[in-house]
Amino acid sequence: MTYEMVKLRKMLDKAGIRWYDDSVYQFGTHFQRTKFTNKFGESCSVIFIEGMSYGWQGGFLECMPALSRDPDYDDEVQGWLTADEIAAEWL
């Protein structure tokens, strides 16, 4: 499990937010995924997939929906995120 994903899960626990591990291993790759409902009532999925997700090279996370409310990110994923950035917006 990547450092940022572990950190995010600890932050969710500390905030009292229920989350679940929706990680899978398929196609020879470990898809790390944490799902929860944010403070806006939105279902959120945060992933890390080595070799695939945006920012994986630096150990960063990708989320959907995007943290930014910029229309360019509407219903899109946003990557290159830290656990702190996700927590600041959603917890």
Digit-coded pLDDT (tens) for 11-67: 999 999 999 999 999 888 999 999 999 999 999 999 999 999 999 999 999 999 888
Residue 90: helix, strand or coil by DSSP? Answer: helix
Place of tokens 């080595």: 50
| Residue 76 pLDDT class (50, 70, 90 cuts) | confident
Number of structural domains the chain divides into: 1
73 has a pLDDT exceeding 90? no
CB–CB of 46/62 below 8 Å?
A: yes
Total-model pTM: 0.91
Domain of residue 57: give its range: 3-90
Residues in contact with 72: Cβ distance below 8 Å, sequence separation at least 6, in sequence order: none
Find out whether 35 and 20 touch, Cβ atoms under 8 Å.
yes
Tell me which of 17 and 70 has the higher pLDDT: 17
What DSSP state is assigned to residue 65? S
More confident of the two residues 71 and 78: 78
